[in-house]
Amino acid sequence: MHSPRPVVLTDSARERSSISYVILLSTIAAISGFLFGFDTAVINGVLLFFRKQFALTNLETEIAASSLLLGCLIGAASASLLGDRYGRKKSLILAALLFAISALGSAISNSVGVFAAARLAGGLAIGLASALTPVYIAEIAPAGNRGKLVSLNQLAIVIGILFAYLVNWQLAKLGESSWRWMLATAALPSFGFFLGLLVIPESPRWLISRGKTDEGERVLSKIIGPLAAREQVQAVERVISTEKGSWEEVFQPGVRARLGVAIFLAVFSQITGINTVLYYGSIIISEHFRGQSAGAALAANVIIGGVNLLFTIVAMLFLDRWGRRAILMTASGGMAIALAALVISFKVPSFPPAIMLLEILVYVAFFAFGMGPGVWLYISEIFPTKIRGRAASLATSALWAGTLVVTFTFLSLVKAMGVGGTFAIYSALSAICFLYIWKFVPETRGRTLEQIQEHWKQ
**Residue 140 · residue 15 · CB < 8 Å:** no
What pLDDT score does 92 carry? 95
- Total Cβ atoms within 10 A of residue 268: 23
Q: Could you tell me the CA-to-CA distances from 168 to 44, 171, 231, 282 in Å, in that order?
A: 8, 5, 50, 11
**Contact partners, residue 13, CB within 8 Å, separation at least 6:** none
**Residue 118 · residue 102 · CB < 8 Å:** yes
Q: Closest Cα to residue 125, out of 112, 106, 151?
A: 106
**Residue 225 · residue 233 · CB < 8 Å:** no
Q: Is the pLDDT of residue 62 over 50?
A: yes
Quote the CA–CA distance of 392 and 410 in Å, as a whole number. 27
**Residue 423 · residue 273 · CB < 8 Å:** yes
- Angle subtended at Cα 379 by Cα 138 and Cα 99, rounded to the nearest 5 degrees: 75
- Total Cβ atoms within 10 A of residue 20: 10
Quote the CA–CA distance of 124 and 68 in Å, as a whole number. 8
Domain boundaries along the sequence of the chain: 11-200+242-457
Of 290 and 79, the one with more pLDDT = 79
Q: Using a pLDDT cut of 90, give the percent of the chain over it.
A: 40
Of 309 and 239, the one with more pLDDT = 309
Mean pLDDT of the chain: 86
pTM for this predicted structure: 0.77
What pLDDT score does 291 carry? 65
- Total Cβ atoms within 10 A of residue 251: 13
Q: Using a pLDDT cut of 70, give the percent of the chain over it.
A: 93
What DSSP designation does 386 have? G
Of 293 and 168, the one with more pLDDT = 168
**Contact partners, residue 420, CB within 8 Å, separation at least 6:** 343, 346, 347
| 3-class state of residue 289 by DSSP | coil
Superfamily of chain region 11-200+242-457: MFS general substrate transporter like domains (1.20.1250.20)
Average pLDDT over residues 147-168: 87
Q: Is the pLDDT of residue 246 over 80?
A: no
Average pLDDT over residues 83-106: 94
Quote the CA–CA distance of 9 and 98 in Å, as a whole number. 42
Of 104 and 152, the one with more pLDDT = 104
What pLDDT score does 4 carry? 46
Quote the CA–CA distance of 72 and 343 in Å, as a whole number. 30
**Residue 206 · residue 139 · CB < 8 Å:** yes
Quote the distance between the C-alpha of residue 427 and its chain's center. 22
What pLDDT, in 10s, does the model give residues 381-398?
Answer: 888 877 887 888 889 889
Quote the CA–CA distance of 190 and 31 in Å, as a whole number. 8
Q: Is the pLDDT of residue 376 over 90?
A: no
Of 53-57, 105-109, 274-278, give the lowest mean pLDDT range: 53-57
Out of 78-92, 94-108, 167-181, the most confident range is 94-108
Quote the CA–CA distance of 98 and 449 in Å, as a whole number. 31
Average pLDDT over residues 403-409: 88
| 3-class state of residue 170 by DSSP | helix
H or E segment and range at residue 237: helix 226-240
**Contact partners, residue 423, CB within 8 Å, separation at least 6:** 273, 276, 339, 342, 343, 346
Q: Is the pLDDT of residue 277 over 80?
A: yes
Q: Closest Cα to residue 301, out of 407, 158, 124, 189?
A: 158
- φ, ψ of residue 107 in degrees (nearest 5): -65, -30
What pLDDT score does 3 carry? 47
Average pLDDT over residues 323-334: 92
Q: Is the pLDDT of residue 13 over 60?
A: no
